[in-house]
Structure formats: structure tokens, C-alpha cells
């Protein structure tokens, strides 16, 4: 029995999962890939985690101290908000822990790079990895890999070298690490220096795209008339890049190897360098991620962020995260974060959700850009959820940081993703993730939230819902939004 008057549906909208999980509803199919095996001789994960705990023991100690001593309201991190300890706090930590001030500062920097401590203004608290330190080997290994990824920050770069030269060496080091991993043994520094020189020369050649040098002037014959010269005759060949100088690169290679040795990735001495078991495993993992992504149908490793996200749309979350890691491993973090946020600004709501899933893989280095994105209305709900999870809030409870209006906006946005890429039953089930207790309340707030896709979402929901009365009410709401009612 139906009525021409909209009625309050008996359907109660109960949220069984956080709103952040809604975009994942469209990821229903994937091709299973066999788990790759590490090279023969690689220690088991438990042994690798034991090595990582030993390497980061001092950092974990200072992180636990900071969690107690530098909580909100206590004097702690530098007033510049950059996360550096004040002199008084460094001296206090040194006295309590029986260390020197220099050791405290070094352990503090390591703890921050490994994600064991999180600094917010003048307070600090333990990161999620420290909270899982004794029970979760994967959290420990992720912390060490984060430190390994930040090796160039672990040891100050030479002050007497040009920043451009340092940047070239940092860009070239992944190839040297791959060579060390494939060599599976000591490699002479002279051989690494030769490889570094070749790689830096290649990088300079790749950047040499603009013709340099003066353009020839038109020729003036003896009678004073200018002769028309064909443009192709004036073309100047690009100036060849200056070859890398081994004498210039040698001190920078020494700095890079010492920095990698300081984080436990390799041993360096007697004119040789050798990857540690941890370093060999980490390089293998990154190479495997790159190879897996390069073999995917979409070629995700080489494409722009938007195309990479589209290529991951049909994968389940774990497989998609592996693709994100491989894509991120192949490019500088700063540029990758910028690309992902730019992709999130597009019209495709599914890509917006996937972009923030990829930013979760990036972790702390993406925080400044995500905080800036929180000022944009279209990205604010996603950014607030990301920041809440980064600060240690359980993903199941992260939706509580959103206002009612922000949660409704996110519901419409994720519904648009389901409508564009999912099936009708998924859109009906998406009703369960709304914060409103009844359908009429949901429709009232959806009409008021002002999402640009509101009409399309309501029309698609009306077409998909099996309840004729509810579908009629949803269509009426869509018409009211369309006409400005």
C-alpha cells in the first residue's frame, strides 16, 4: 500500500563502519598475486624486526620519555613548531636518561624520522608505531624503513657543497643501493664512485632539453639588405651536459655512505660498502614493489597520479596499497604528494577517496600539504579524517572529528563515487553509512549541504532503491534541489 504523501521510512540508518571506508565499497574484484619471496639468505621477519628494535632502541627510549614529559601543557619542543627540542628540555632529558645533550638530540631526530614520536606545536606524543612496538613486528619494520627512506636527513649534508650537487647524489643513490643489493657482498668504493659518476651524468643529460647558446643574427650582405634565413638553419644544438667530476662526487659519496651506515642500512669501512640484512631486505622490498607495478596492465609506476589511481580502482585495499607504495618509491615524496592532492581536486569522487588512501601510505611527510588541503571545502572531510588517523585516532572513530555538515558532504561525495563506479545494490547499502537516523532527515540535510553532485546522487539512489515510497521521496528531493527548492 502506497501513499502520495512522503512517509517516514522504517529503515533506520545505522553506521556499521566508518565513512572513510565508503569509497572502498566499489573495490570488489582483484586478481590475486602470489606473494614474492625474498632472496635466499634473508632473515625471517621476526629476526629482521629484532634487528630493527636493536637499531632503534635509543630512539624508542627518548620517544617514551617524550610521551610523558612533553604532553600538552608541558614545556617541550621548540617554539618554532619545527619539532626541535629546546635547550632546557634537552638538558632535562639528558639528566633523566643519563645521556649527553648531543645524544638526546640525535635520538630525538631518529625517533621523529622513524615515526616513533609525533610533534604538534610545543607538545609531543608517542606515534602509533611506538604503541605497537612490543607486539607488532610489522610496525617496527615500518618504523625502520621510514628512517631508511629519510637517510639523507640523518646526517647533515656537507656545508661546502652546492645544494644541486647534493640533490643529484640523493637522486642517484637508489641505483647504487640496487647495485649493492644485487652484488650481495662488499663493493669497493671506487666502483660505487664510477657508478655514481655515470648516473649523475645521465641525470644531467635528461635535464638538458632547452637549447643553450646565442642565436645567430641574420646575415647582412654588402649591399645592406638583410637576407631571410630559414629558421631550421638557426637551430642550435643543445649544449652537452658537463660530465660529472669524480673529485667533486667523492666527498658526497662518502657523506651518503656514512648517512646510510648511521641508519643501519649498510656497513662502510676499509674502502668497501656492504648492505646489512635490514638494508638488503628494504632495498629488495622496494625493487619488488616497483617490478610488480611495472608489470601491471596500467603501468602504474610511470603514469601520473590520476591515471595511477584509476589503475588501482579495481583492486582491493591491500593490493592498491602495494601499488601506491611502488608508485611513491619511484618519485620524490614532495612532488608525489602534490600530484595526489591535485588528483583529489578533480571531479571524480572515487579518485578523491583513493588519493587520500595513497596519502595514508605516505604518512607524516604529507601532513603539511594535507593540513593546507583542509581549508578547501571539497577536500576538508577527507583531510580531517586523514589528520585524525595520523594523530593516532582509531580509524573506526575518526569520523567523530567531522561536523554533521562535513559528514553529510562526505556521504554525498562517496555516494557519487559508488554511483559512478559501483552497482545499484552498493548505492542502496551506502545509506547505512549516513549519520542521520532516518531517510527524511538525511534528505533534508543532503538538500542543504550544497554538494555539486547532489541531484545525480539522489536520482541514482531513487532508481536503485526497491522501496517505491522511499524512491518517490528521493526523486522529489532531487527535483527540489534541481529547481532550487
DSSP letter string, 275-298: E-HHHHHHHHHHHHHHHHHHTSTT
pLDDT tens-digit readout, 451-471: 777 787 778 777 766 667 767
Whether residue 481 is predicted with pLDDT greater than 90 in this model: the reply is no
The SS3 call for residue 8 is: coil
Q: What is the DSSP string of 406-464?
A: HHHHHHHHHHHHHHHHS-HHHHHHGGGG-SSSSHHHHHHHHHHH--TTHHHHHHHHHHH
Is-contact 281 42, C-beta < 8 A?
yes
Q: Check residues 57 and 474 and name the one with the higher pLDDT.
A: 57
pLDDT at 472: 75
pLDDT at 254: 92
* Range with top average pLDDT, 150-154, 156-160, 261-265: 261-265
Whether residue 263 is predicted with pLDDT greater than 70 in this model: the reply is yes
* Range with top average pLDDT, 166-180, 400-414, 436-450, 451-465: 166-180
pLDDT at 378: 86
Is-contact 385 402, C-beta < 8 A?
yes
pLDDT at 190: 92
Q: Check residues 221 and 157 and name the one with the higher pLDDT.
A: 157
**Spatial distance between the Cα atoms of 356 and 377, rounded to a whole number of angstroms:** 15
CA torsion 172→178→184→185, rounded to 10°? 0
pLDDT at 82: 57
Whether residue 15 is predicted with pLDDT greater than 50 in this model: the reply is no
pLDDT at 31: 44
pLDDT at 436: 67
pLDDT at 10: 37
Note the helical H segments in 41-188.
45-55, 57-69, 87-97, 101-113, 128-131, 137-149, 151-154, 163-183
pLDDT at 6: 40
> Cell for 157?
649534508
Q: Check residues 221 and 99 and name the one with the higher pLDDT.
A: 99
pLDDT at 229: 42
pLDDT tens-digit readout, 267-322: 998 889 999 999 999 998 888 777 765 665 556 777 888 988 988 887 877 778 88
Q: Looking at residues 228-242, what average pLDDT do you find?
A: 48
Whether residue 257 is predicted with pLDDT greater than 90 in this model: the reply is yes
Give the predicted TM-score (pTM) of the model: 0.57
pLDDT at 268: 92
Q: Looking at residues 26-37, what average pLDDT do you find?
A: 50
Whether residue 484 is predicted with pLDDT greater than 90 in this model: the reply is no
Amino acid at each position: 500500500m502506497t501513499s502520495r504523501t512522503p512517509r517516514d521510512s522504517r529503515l533506520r540508518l545505522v553506521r556499521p563502519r566508518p565513512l572513510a571506508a565508503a569509497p572502498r565499497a566499489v573495490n570488489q574484484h582483484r586478481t590475486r598475486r602470489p606473494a614474492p619471496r625474498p632472496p635466499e639468505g634473508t632473515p625471517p621477519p621476526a629476526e629482521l624486526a629484532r634487528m630493527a628494535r636493536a637499531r632503534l632502541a635509543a630512539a624508542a627510549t627518548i620517544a617514551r620519555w617524550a610521551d610523558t614529559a612533553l604532553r600538552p601543557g608541558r614545556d617541550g619542543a621548540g617554539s618554532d613548531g619545527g619539532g626541535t627540542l629546546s635547550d632546557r628540555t634537552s638538558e632535562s632529558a639528558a639528566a633523566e636518561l643519563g645521556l649527553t645533550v648531543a645524544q638526546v638530540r640525535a635520538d630525538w631526530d631518529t625517533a621523529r624520522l622513524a615515526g616513533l614520536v609525533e610533534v604538534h606545536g610545543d607538545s609531543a606524543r608517542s606515534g602509533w608505531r611506538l604503541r605497537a612496538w612490543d607486539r607488532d613486528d610489522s610496525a617496527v619494520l615500518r618504523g625502520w624503513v621510514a628512517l631508511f627512506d629519510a637517510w639523507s636527513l640523518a646526517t647533515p649534508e656537507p656545508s661546502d657543497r652546492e645544494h644541486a650537487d647534493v640533490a643529484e647524489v640523493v637522486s642517484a643513490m637508489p641505483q647504487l643501493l640496487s647495485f649493492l643489493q644485487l652484488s650481495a657482498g662488499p663493493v669497493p668504493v671506487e666502483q660505487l664512485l664510477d657508478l655514481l659518476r655515470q648516473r649523475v651524468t645521465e641525470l644531467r643529460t635528461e635535464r638538458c632539453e632547452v637549447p643553450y647558446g646565442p642565436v645567430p643574427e641574420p646575415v647582412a650582405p654588402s649591399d645592406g639588405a638583410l637576407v631571410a634565413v630559414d629558421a631550421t638553419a638557426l637551430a642550435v644544438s643543445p649544449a652537452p651536459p658537463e660530465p660529472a667530476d669524480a673529485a667533486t662526487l667523492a666527498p658526497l659519496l662518502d657523506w651518503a655512505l656514512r648517512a646510510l651506515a648511521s641508519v643501519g642500512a649498510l656497513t662502510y669501512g676499509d674502502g668497501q660498502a656492504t648492505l646489512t640484512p635490514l638494508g638488503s631486505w628494504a632495498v629488495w622490498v622496494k625493487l619488488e614493489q616497483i617490478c610488480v607495478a611495472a608489470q601491471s596492465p596500467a603501468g602504474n609506476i610511470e603514469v601520473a597520479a590520476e591515471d595511477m589511481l584509476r589503475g588501482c580502482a579495481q583492486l582491493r585495499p591491500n593490493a592498491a596499497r602495494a601499488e601506491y607504495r611502488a608508485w611513491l618509491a619511484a618519485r620524490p615524496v614532495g612532488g608525489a604528494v602534490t600530484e595526489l592532492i591535485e588528483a583529489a581536486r578533480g571531479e571524480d569522487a572515487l579518485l578523491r577517496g583513493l588519493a587520500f588512501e595513497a596519502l595514508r601510505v605516505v604518512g607524516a611527510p604529507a601532513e603539511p600539504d594535507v593540513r593546507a588541503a583542509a581549508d578547501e571545502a571539497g577536500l576538508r572531510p577527507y583531510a580531517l579524517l586523514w589528520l585524525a588517523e595520523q594523530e593516532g585516532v582509531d580509524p573506526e572513530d575518526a569520523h567523530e572529528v567531522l561536523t554533521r555538515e562535513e559528514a553529510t558532504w562526505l556521504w554525498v561525495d562517496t555516494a557519487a563515487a559508488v554511483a559512478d563506479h559501483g552497482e545499484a545494490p552498493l548505492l542502496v547499502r551506502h545509506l547505512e553509512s549516513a549519520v542521520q537516523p532516518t531517510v527524511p532527515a538525511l534528505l533534508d540535510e543532503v538538500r542543504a549541504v550544497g554538494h555539486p553532485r547532489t541531484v545525480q546522487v539522489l536520482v541514482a539512489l531513487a532508481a536503485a532503491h526497491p522501496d517505491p515510497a522511499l524512491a518517490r521521496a528521493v526523486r522529489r528531493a532531487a527535483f527540489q534541489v534541481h529547481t532550487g527548492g
